[in-house]
Structure 1
Amino acid sequence: MKIKSQKDFASGLMFIVVGIAFAWGATEYAFGSSARPGPGYFPFGLGLLMALLGAIVLFKSLTIETPGGDPIGHIGWRPLIIILASVLVFGFCLPRLGMVLSLPLLVIISALAGDEFHWGEAIVVSVILTAGSWVIFIWGLNLIIPMWPTFLTGN
């Protein structure tokens, strides 16, 4: 069997591996029921859905001809490292700086990964994302996420 699209083949394999890993990891948590889903319910379903999508993309890569085999180009290491670093910085800063400072930091560092960086756009997105996250996670779901830096709250 000949691979007719290298990009789709690699993408399909990646989706299958990540999907199965998520579904497998979700089996460690209680599933609950459809009426009252537990913490493993959503990641398990999402993992299976991701693996199914990967299988479809993989099948497409083996059956549908693409011009020149659609080779995989070079990997953009700089954006990959910047995005990974922004997530690590967010994870480190959230308990210490709270959501008000950590989310804008995440957005601004992530925006540096692109070819064009504009402070105005990054600040607007930061404000919208922070407000939306507060509405969804703190006000709507009542999750205990620090909103303000620990040096302001005394915790």
Structure 2
Amino acid sequence: MKIGNQRDFWSGLMFIAVGAAFAVGSLDYSFGNSARPGPAYFPFGLGVLMAILGGVVLLGAFKARNADGNPVGAFAWKPLLIILGTITLFGFLLPRAGMFITLPILVIGSAMASDEFKLKEALLNATILTVMSWAVFSKGLGLTIPLLPAFLGGA
């Protein structure tokens, strides 16, 4: 059987793998029931739905008929590494430097992975996301997230 659309084929496989991983990972938790769902209820259901969606996309890849098979281009390693690096840096810095310093680093660093990076737009996004995150997580939900580094009075 020939693959008619390589992009759909690989994205379908990715959806199946991620969905199956979430479904299997949730098996260690209790399901509860429909009236009182447990911690496994939502991730298991979402994982199964994602795997089913992946199967539909995967099967559609065999039905599609493109002259060139819609090949997948070269893998974009540089943006992937930049984004993974900024997320890792965020996880390391958050308890040490606080949210007001760490979140703008994450947003601006991740934006630098784009070919269309503009510093002014990244600064605006960082400001809005930092203020909204502070409002939702610190004020709204009352979570104890360090806002400033300890030496500036935020421990």
1:154 is displaced (CA, Å) by 5.9
Name the counterpart of 1:66.
Answer: 66
Name the counterpart of 2:96.
Answer: 96
- TM-aligned CA distance change 1:86 to 1:146, over 3 Å: same
Matched, 1:76 2:79: no
User: Which moves more between the two structures, 20-29 or 134-143?
Assistant: 134-143
Name the counterpart of 1:20.
Answer: 20
- Give the distance between the partners of 1:153 and 1:51, measured in 2 at CA: 47
The runs of 5 or more residues in structure 2 that have no matched partner are: none
- TM-aligned CA distance change 1:41 to 1:134, over 3 Å: farther
Q: CA RMSD in A?
A: 1.9
User: Which moves more between the two structures, 7-16 or 140-149?
Assistant: 140-149
The count of aligned residue pairs is: 155
Preserved CA contact (<8 Å) 2:9 2:61: yes
Matched, 1:123 2:149: no
- Give the distance between the partners of 1:49 and 1:135, measured in 2 at CA: 33
Identical residues among aligned pairs (%): 55
User: Which moves more between the two structures, 136-145 or 78-87?
Assistant: 136-145
- TM-aligned CA distance change 1:141 to 1:29, over 3 Å: farther
- Give the distance between the partners of 2:63 and 2:88, measured in 1 at CA: 39
Q: Which amino acid aligns with 2:140?
A: G
Q: Which amino acid aligns with 1:62?
A: F
Q: Which amino acid aligns with 1:135?
A: A
- Give the distance between the partners of 1:131 and 1:36, measured in 2 at CA: 34
Matches within 5 A, 1:45-64: 45-64=45-64
Matches within 5 A, 1:31-46: 31-46=31-46
Name the counterpart of 1:140.
Answer: 140
- Give the distance between the partners of 1:37 and 1:140, measured in 2 at CA: 25
1:34 is displaced (CA, Å) by 4.4
Normalising by the residue count of structure 2, what TM-score does the alignment of the two structures yield? 0.88
Q: Deviations over 1:26-85 (max 9, x none)?
A: 222333444554433332232222212211210110112223101111111111111111
Q: Deviations over 1:69-117 (max 9, x none)?
A: 0111111111111111111111111111121111111111101101122
The runs of 5 or more residues in structure 1 that have no matched partner are: none
